[in-house]
Amino acid sequence: MEFEKVIAQNHTSEHFKGIHLTRAQIESIVKAGQSAPIVDELRDQFHISVISSERALEYLT
In angstroms, how far is the first alpha carbon of the chain from the final one? 35
Q: Are 60 and 26 in contact (CB under 8 A)?
A: yes
Q: Is residue 4 part of a domain?
A: no
Q: Is residue 3 part of a domain?
A: no
Residue 55's domain spans which residues? 19-60
Q: Is residue 12 part of a domain?
A: no
- Measuring CA to CA, which residue among 57, 61, 58, 56 is closest to residue 18? 56
Q: Is residue 7 part of a domain?
A: no
Q: Is residue 41 part of a domain?
A: yes
Model confidence over 46-60: pLDDT tens digits? Answer: 655 555 667 766 766
Q: Is residue 43 part of a domain?
A: yes
Which of the 8 DSSP states describes residue 13? G
How many residues are present in the chain? 61
State the pTM of this model: 0.36
Q: Is residue 13 part of a domain?
A: no
Q: How many domains does the chain have?
A: 1
Model confidence over 13-46: pLDDT tens digits? Answer: 555 556 677 888 888 877 887 777 767 776 666 6
Q: Is residue 56 part of a domain?
A: yes
- Measuring CA to CA, which residue among 16, 17, 20 is closest to residue 59? 20
